[in-house]
Amino acid sequence: MELVLHLVAAMENRFPLEEFMLPDRIERLREVAESRTRSLTVVLDGVHDPHNLSAVVRSAEAFGLLDLYVIESHAEFCIVDRITQGAEKWIDIHCYAEPEPCIEALAARDMQLWLADPTPGSRQVADLPYQEKIALIFGNEHEGPGAQMRAAARGKFHIPMLGFTQSLNISVSAGICLAAAVTARQSQPGGHGDLPPAELDQLVSDWQQRSVRAADKILARIQGNAKVSGRDGD
């Protein structure tokens, strides 16, 4: 009887799976979704160490990114579960065998490409134009970004460093840069989370399906009940 009542209530709810979730979980999913963005992203160009890849996935999710782009020019994308801690469940990871289709995909979204490179002419990461759509590019652990990414980039950025050390592990660098980027975006009108209402609602709905056991079966039953109800009202 309790299941029937939940199904009836779900038929009247724009987010029907909420009838099968605890209020705190519903609120948490909405809260995190409201902080998500597609106007800031990270591109990993030829990064091959699974530990580095996994750490960047975790950082990207933690700082509210919805997308991560990976160019598998040196190795196939692979993650370490104990490092990601499930972060890959909440972020869209786009993999490409070569840089060109990745560059085209970013251009289609009007993303400015900025390259992690501390050579002269590079801006501090906090000073990038975050009022625009930005893709932060990090290159291979040994060779750096490839020639195609360098050619496509709008400019270069770096982390200001005050010690004898002149470089950081790529996963550490990505985390620092994302923290700086989010801080800068939060200080600007509109803030960091910027999904349009319709996309935000769809994201919440998708996440609810990932959070409720047997969500597909529940939704199918709700839809079936709705069709029966509709015929009864004819």
pTM over the 0.75 mark: yes
Instruction: List pLDDT tens digits, range 15-72.
Output: 888 888 899 999 999 999 999 999 999 999 999 999 999 999 999 999 999 999 999 9
Q: What is the model's pLDDT at position 13?
A: 59
User: What confidence score (pLDDT) does residue 205 get?
Assistant: 94
Residues 6+ apart with CB under 8 A from 101: none
Please give the average per-residue pLDDT across 5-11, as a whole number. Answer: 45
Token match 């990461």: residue?
125
Give pLDDT tens digits for 80-90.
999 999 999 99
DSSP, collapsed to helix, strand or coil, labels residue 92 as strand
Number of separate helices (H) and strands (E) present in the chain: 9, 7
Reply yes or no on whether the pLDDT at 219 is more than 90. no
CB 42 within 8 A of CB 71: no
Classify domain 40-186 at the CATH topology level: Alpha/beta knot (3.40.1280)
The Cα–Cα gap between 68 and 10 comes to: 34
- The domain locations on the chain are 2-33+196-232, 40-186
Integer Cα distance of 60 and 30 in angstroms: 18
CA distance 143 to 140: 5
Q: For 119-123, 139-143, 230-234, which range has the lowest pLDDT when averaged over its residues? A: 230-234
How far apart are the C-alpha atoms of 105 and 113, rounded to whole Å?
Answer: 12
